[in-house]
Amino acid sequence: MRPVPDFECDLVVRGGTVVTAGSSAECDLGISDGRISQVGGFLRGRREIDASGALVLPGGLDMHVHLSSPQTPEPGVPAWVDDFRSGSRAAIAGGVTTIGNMTFPREGQSLRQALAHDLSAAKDTAATDYVLHSVMISPSPEALAELPLLVSEGHTSLKLFMTSEEFEAHAADMITAIRIAGQHGMLTLIHCEDGALVRSAGEHLLASGRGSLADWADSRPELSERAAVERAVAICEVTGSPIYIVHLSSRSALQSARRGQLRGLPVFVETRPLYLYLTSGALREPQGGKYIGSPPLREPADLAAMWSGLADGSIHTLGSDHAPWSLRDKIDDSLDVTTARQGVADLETIMPMLFSAGVRTGRISLQRFISLTSTNAARLFGLYPRKGTIAIGSDADLVVLDPQLRRTIDGSSMQSNADYSVYDGREVYGWPRFTVSRGEVVLADGQVVAEPGRGQWLRRNPTAAP
């Protein structure tokens, strides 16, 4: 006689192989009140998901997305085409259940006012859970004074751009911002390209009669990234504050970060899907402008280095840097290397592409895949163990991934409002059959069924460096 369960779960995920960053077992999962309530054993649920033949993984965390524009565009001026509504649908379709949005202050806004603006925008539209990263453009005394207040209000991450003229003009104050952030339990995200070197390269190209979109790689040379990473590591060392290098792209920059890591410094590294599948040759194609991101696509040796970093742990996370445009606006002939529109749609493809090109080929293990797409980000951004794992008491954020489910990428039919994907035509194995967010099925058999506004902002407590 089969045992009778003590209670009936809200949802049972039955028949799949449950995998975390540290374990794997074929068993059923019980979910009650939005959280994992039982792992294994005899379960009965009011609703069931058939996960037979599939992998049951922690939902993805993509901590680098752009779903709110830095400034409200003027009429007729192109802008990113996704907001919290469409972007969160793309996330769900790809198995991502938590996103981290870059929140830029508009002209005249304080950091707190900018966060309040995005919280209001996301409240009625986001279908996934989310955090907001406060972007500091100018380290004014007022902005520096706000940082401890942000932490007290649950915002524990700060974003800086070394490409900006403000960074160079106020370098000492930017370093102070990083120091204050670390002292109060914030993680500082840094875009590492040396702004002076980038501006010099662009001006030189234009002066020499070049500077079209096809010259994008030359306008942001690898040495500008390497120099910025070296400086960021030095700032980490002098302040003692943890840093998170976003979208690292080159072998030499990774080597610089590794040297800091080997010295025991809290230097954490994110790379971006673009740098795992494409190289600079794509920029010289007839519509090469559609591949433009910052830093630019690199060389085959750099691509190989990124895969090596994913496998050996020197790269901690994968972030999409989702910032989509229409194809027409990306390849506009009037643009040059100083005005190019940076960013691509990658939220829906970040997890399936990595599974297909990484796990399926043996480049990375399945456990490493989970660390890169979920667990490490949850730890770094103060969300673990609520997010990033499958354990009793954790939020029931799951992706039921079918390793045999094959699709050919067609950006025009995906959830993002972008009308293309940089991977159009690629055959990819390993798509979500179901996505579950806090116990609610939000993707069923490939169809997004989540209601706008169901996503929750996640308050984070101050954290020490992991």
Task: Read off the pLDDT of residues 181-195 as tens digits, 9 standing for 90 and up.
Answer: 999 999 999 999 999
Q: Are 214 and 345 part of one and the same domain?
A: yes
Q: Are 140 and 227 part of one and the same domain?
A: yes
Q: Are 160 and 294 part of one and the same domain?
A: yes
What is the spatial distance between Cα 199 and Cα 193, in angstroms, rounded to a whole number? 10
Q: Give how far Cα 442 sits from Cα of 21, 44, 129, 445, Å.
A: 23, 21, 12, 10
Residue 464 in domain: no
pLDDT digit string, tens, across residues 333-345: 999 999 999 999 9
- Of 325, 358, 380, the last residue of a domain is 380
Residue 143 in domain: yes
Q: Are 68 and 46 part of one and the same domain?
A: no
Q: What is the CATH number of the domain that holds 281?
A: 3.20.20.140
Q: Are 18 and 156 part of one and the same domain?
A: no
Residue 466 in domain: no
pLDDT digit string, tens, across residues 118-148: 999 999 999 999 999 999 999 999 999 999 9
The pTM score is 0.96
Q: Are 92 and 26 part of one and the same domain?
A: no
Mean pLDDT of 420-449: 97
pLDDT band for position 75 (cuts 50, 70, 90): confident
pLDDT for residue 465: 47
Q: Are 96 and 218 part of one and the same domain?
A: yes
What is the spatial distance between Cα 194 and Cα 411, in angstroms, rounded to a whole number? 33
Residue 385 in domain: no
pLDDT digit string, tens, across residues 18-46: 999 888 999 999 999 999 999 999 999 99
- Of 357, 380, 403, the last residue of a domain is 380
Q: What is the CATH number of the domain that holds 21?
A: 2.30.40.10
Q: Are 85 and 122 part of one and the same domain?
A: yes
Q: Are 105 and 215 part of one and the same domain?
A: yes
